[in-house]
Amino acid sequence: MIGKYDPLKGEMRCILHPDGRLEEGLKPDLSDQSVRNIYRKMVLIRLADQKALNLQRQGRLGTYAPVIGQEAAQVGSAQALEKGDWVFPSFREMGVFYMRGAPLKDIYLYWMGNEAGQKVPEDVNIFPISVPVGTHPLHAVGAGWAAKLKGEKICTIAYFGDGATSEGDFHEAMNFAGVFQTPTIFFCQNNQYAISVPRKKQTAAKTLAQKAMAYGFAGVQVDGNDLFAVYAATREARERAISGLGPTMIEAVTYRFGPHTTADDPSKYREDAEVWEWRARDPMLRLQGYLRGRGLWSEDQEAKIKAEAEAIVNQAIQEAESVPPPEPEEMFKYTFAEMTRILKEQLDDYLAFLREKET
């Protein structure tokens, strides 16, 4: 199906319309029960995201990059992966982390400034958050190449925003992946802005997905607020990867309702009318409409789902805030598996400073 949607013509894959209707002749690859379970997770992720914003405003959490508006892109793609696949996130993937099995407590812990929050469980194949823009797709490609050489039937996936496609590392990763046909998925969440720079100032290309063609592999643009389209495209990209057909780039066209981070004021560079236009395409309302149409959603059910999510999120916050803050020495001890000579010298200098301060 990926080849049926030509990004050069601006063709976008869509299954679920904003009003909850299915595209004629198409249906989701997910059972009703799966969709209901996914919706519950999306509700929790949105609530957890809002709580993070509140905590930051209260001084209980550091600078945070909100997810609101991009839940379908993150949840749909993560749902399509298998346990052995490796994920390489940027800094806006709370939904992906949660879907892949990272404890919510640890996600909060990281944003509270404790690096221990990025020590995910051994059976969770997700790399730490990458704050530099566009550097981690190279790591995803390298891991994919290693998997290919070892004969492992897994894929790697790199998540990034539209701004990353303007970075040199992104193009190097795409080129390497194309040449060596690595089992890699490049998942671009095109949320229309790289901080304050709009998509139209990022590139003159009609789509971002078409950039894959220059590197010799498939690219597809999907409605990023359509859970079903995202899931289907990612699932197909994974099948292509493990069957030896090489990488795929998916451009999920979505929108961030909130700021780039809590240090940003989006009112300085975009109009409220634009935000409200995209609000009508809210991925949560869209899926809610689908479930309602199938008799699987009601106001009472929604209230119960939100209450359950609230309890889970509040428990995670309580657990994260109960973790003692890290000692300054940890920045020297745990950067590498074994401390380098320079780090040892820096630690010695720091400890000497503490002793002198005590006297």
At a CB cut-off of 8 Å and minimum separation 6, what does 11 contact? 5, 221
CA dist 11 to 105, 209, 212, Å?
40, 10, 15
Catalytic pick among 21, 57, 269, 270:
269
Confidence tier at 209 by pLDDT (50, 70, 90): very high
- Looking at the structure, do residues 352 and 243 belong to the same domain, yes or no? no
- Looking at the structure, do residues 197 and 340 belong to the same domain, yes or no? no
Where residue 190 falls (left for φ over 0; alpha for ψ -120 to 50; beta otherwise) is: beta
What pTM, to 2 d.p., does this model score? 0.95
Residue 108 is a catalytic residue: no
pLDDT value of position 335: 77
Catalytic pick among 256, 281, 286, 290:
256
Confidence tier at 244 by pLDDT (50, 70, 90): very high
- Looking at the structure, do residues 122 and 168 belong to the same domain, yes or no? yes
- Looking at the structure, do residues 250 and 339 belong to the same domain, yes or no? no
- Looking at the structure, do residues 146 and 222 belong to the same domain, yes or no? yes
Percent of the chain scoring above 90 in pLDDT: 92
Confidence tier at 252 by pLDDT (50, 70, 90): very high
- Looking at the structure, do residues 206 and 341 belong to the same domain, yes or no? no
CA dist 284 to 193, 222, 229, 273, Å?
21, 17, 14, 20
- Looking at the structure, do residues 240 and 186 belong to the same domain, yes or no? yes
Residue 269 is a catalytic residue: yes
pLDDT value of position 289: 96
pLDDT value of position 331: 86
End-to-end CA distance of the chain: 71
Residue 139 is a catalytic residue: no
Confidence tier at 32 by pLDDT (50, 70, 90): very high
pLDDT value of position 240: 98
Mean pLDDT, to the nearest integer, of 249-265?
Answer: 97
Predicted confidence (pLDDT) per residue in 50-109, tens digit: 999 999 999 999 999 999 999 999 999 999 999 999 999 999 999 999 999 999 999 999
pLDDT value of position 334: 80
- Looking at the structure, do residues 188 and 332 belong to the same domain, yes or no? no
Judge whether 60 and 321 are in contact, CB under 8 Å.
Answer: yes
- Looking at the structure, do residues 141 and 32 belong to the same domain, yes or no? yes
Which amino acid is located at 323 in the chain? V
State the chain's mean pLDDT as an integer: 96
Tokens of 133: 């823009």
The whole domain housing 128 covers: 2-326
Q: How many CB atoms lie within 10 A of CB 344?
A: 13
Rounded CA-CA distance 327/302 in Å is 43
pLDDT value of position 358: 85
DSSP 295: T
Mean pLDDT, to the nearest integer, of 327-345?
Answer: 90
Confidence tier at 111 by pLDDT (50, 70, 90): very high
Predicted confidence (pLDDT) per residue in 279-296, tens digit: 999 999 999 999 999 999
- Check pLDDT > 90 for residue 357: no
Which of the pair, 184 or 357, is modelled with greater confidence?
Answer: 184
Mean pLDDT, to the nearest integer, of 290-311?
Answer: 97
- Looking at the structure, do residues 61 and 156 belong to the same domain, yes or no? yes
Which amino acid is located at 45 in the chain? I
CATH number, domain of 97, equals 3.40.50.970
Catalytic pick among 46, 235, 238, 260:
260
pLDDT value of position 102: 97
pLDDT value of position 48: 98
- Looking at the structure, do residues 341 and 300 belong to the same domain, yes or no? no
Task: Say how many domains are in the chain.
Answer: 2
- Looking at the structure, do residues 282 and 189 belong to the same domain, yes or no? yes
pLDDT value of position 100: 97
